[in-house]
Every structure is written in structure tokens, then in C-alpha cells.
Homo-oligomer: A and B are copies of this chain.
Amino acid sequence: MKKYPYPVSEVRRFLEPGPIVLVSSHWQGKDNIMTLGWQTVMEFSPSLIGCMISAGNHSFEMIKASRDCVINLPEVGLLDTVAQIGNCSGSNTDKFTRFGLTPEPAQSVGAPAVAECFASFECQIYDDVLVDSYNFFIFEVLCARVKSLTDWPQTMHYTGDGIFRLDGETVNRHQWFTKVS
């Protein structure tokens, strides 16, 4: 299914609920993917996302060197893939090939998107002040693409020990919201 352009200032709609994401990267001719659950929205505009990427991950040095990545949003159909991507290393595995995923050229960064994901948020390092001290990257989302503006993906939320919670029912309390929030 094709992805469509999406306003970068609204990526919080997908990331604020706290789903597990796949972070794809590219450096020196090689692609990689990692599973991440330690991230937060930091600002609407510029569109900032903070990501804690442990230095033990092969992706850490790749992203630090290339200064960009793509944050991809997997749906529940990719749960087994997501779990397994988080339990092997890009140092000795071509994860796109091993897991049958398709690297898709990004529009604004060198890292590829993951074609099979519901949404792709192309990110560039905005501030690396906490990278050495906390492994914490502050990214700016330069370009966002989403598969459908009407459907909503069922996402996965990680609790540790191999246990995921899936998201469920939607509840609307718009009537109490007095400002954009």
C-alpha cells in the first residue's frame, strides 16, 4: 500500500501513544534496522523526537556517523518480525534480507524506510548534546509519510521480557479539550 505525505508537526498522533518502532539506518553501504521503545515526542514544530539508543546497538554508531535514520511504525502483523529484529545484531546480520523487508528510498535522508511499515518518519540529528552522556538523540522529523489517513494501525507496546501489549479501543473526549493538545 502506498504511503502519502503527512504533516511533520502531527507525527505525535502516531508516536505519543508509545508504540514500538523500527529504526532504519544506513552507513558505508550497509542498511540496518533496530527495534526501539525508548522514545518520546519533544516538540510539534520543529518536529522533534528524542530517542534513547543504547550504545550497545550496532545502529548507534551508524546513526551517530550518518546523522540520520528513519523511524518506521510497524503494525501488529509484523510482531514476530519486530521481536526477532530486536534479538539479533546488524554487526553480523543483514536484517532487511533475513526478515524479508524492503528498503524504500527516503526523500530527505540517506537511511532507507521500511516499505512494510504503516508510516515512516525521516529523521536527522537536530541536537547531539546528550548522545555521549546518555545515548540520547534529539531528531528532527524532516519528512513524514503514512499509508492511510483514515485507517489506524494496531500498534505494539513493549513491557520487557518479550511481552507486548497491543492497543485496543478508542475513546474520544474531544469535548473537554479547550486548546490544541
Contact = CB atoms under 8 A, between A and B. Distances in A.
A115 interface: no
Interface in A151-180: 156-179
Question: Per DSSP, are chain A's interface residues mostly helix, strand or loop, or mixed?
Answer: mixed
A43 B181 CA distance: 28
A12 B89 CA distance: 23
Interface of A: 10, 12-14, 16-19, 37-43, 48, 50, 52, 79-80, 83-84, 86-87, 127, 129-130, 134, 136, 138, 156-179, 181
Given A41-B38, A134-B43, A172-B162, A16 B18 contact: yes
Cβ-closest 7 pairs across A and B = A18-B18, A168-B168, A162-B174, A17-B157, A40-B40, A83-B173, A162-B177
A85 to B, nearest CB: 10
A165 to B, nearest CB: 5
A86 B181 CA distance: 9
Contact of A13 (B40, B48, B160, B178): B160
Contacts of A160: 10, 12-13, 16, 181
A169 B165 contact: yes
Given A157-B18, A158-B17, A165 B175 contact: no
A171 to B, nearest CB: 5
A167 B170 contact: no
B166 A171 contact: yes
